């Protein structure tokens, strides 16, 4: 029976934490935010099922404020930005929609927002 490494579990928790932090930060600034990340259950022959997270349209969140609609992927640091850019590149977004990578550096009080061209 293969076990999920403790690092993989830590990454999932970190992603959930960053998504929640991004949602809270946007809502404090007047944005309406919805979570797009979904969990899928993969049954195993024995033991607990395996859970996998999927981003809808390459984003963890979608936010709007009356003027702008933004699809947002939260990242902890700058290490995995290329993965976020590749994920956004898979989809065709309508004109006027923004795609943002919300980068949370360690101990940062506010995120750095990088707009991804689509």
**pLDDT tens digits along 33-51:** 999 988 888 888 888 888 8
Confidence at residue 50, expressed as pLDDT on a 0 to 100 scale: 85
CA dist 72 → 2, 9, 34, 44, 51 (Å): 33, 22, 10, 32, 22
- Helix (H) or strand (E) segment spanning residue 39: strand 38-42
Would you state the CATH architecture of domain 6-115?
3-Layer(aba) Sandwich (3.40)
Q: What pTM does this model have?
A: 0.83
Q: pLDDT-based confidence at 118, cuts 50/70/90?
A: confident
SS3 80: coil
Q: Where are the domains of the chain?
A: 6-115
Nearest to 22 by CA among 30, 11, 13, 33: 33
């Amino acid at each position: 029976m293969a076990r999920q490494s403790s690092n993989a579990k830590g990454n999932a928790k970190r992603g959930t934490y960053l998504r929640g932090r991004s949602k809270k930060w946007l809502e404090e600034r007047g944005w309406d935010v919805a979570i797009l990340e979904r969990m899928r259950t993969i049954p195993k022959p024995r033991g607990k099922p395996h859970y996998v997270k999927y981003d809808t349209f390459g984003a963890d969140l979608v936010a709007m404020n009356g003027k702008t609609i933004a699809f947002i992927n939260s990242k902890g640091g700058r290490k995995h930005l290329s993965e976020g850019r590749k994920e956004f590149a898979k989809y065709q977004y309508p004109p006027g929609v923004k795609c943002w990578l919300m980068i949370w550096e360690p101990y940062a009080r506010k995120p750095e927002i990088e707009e991804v061209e689509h």
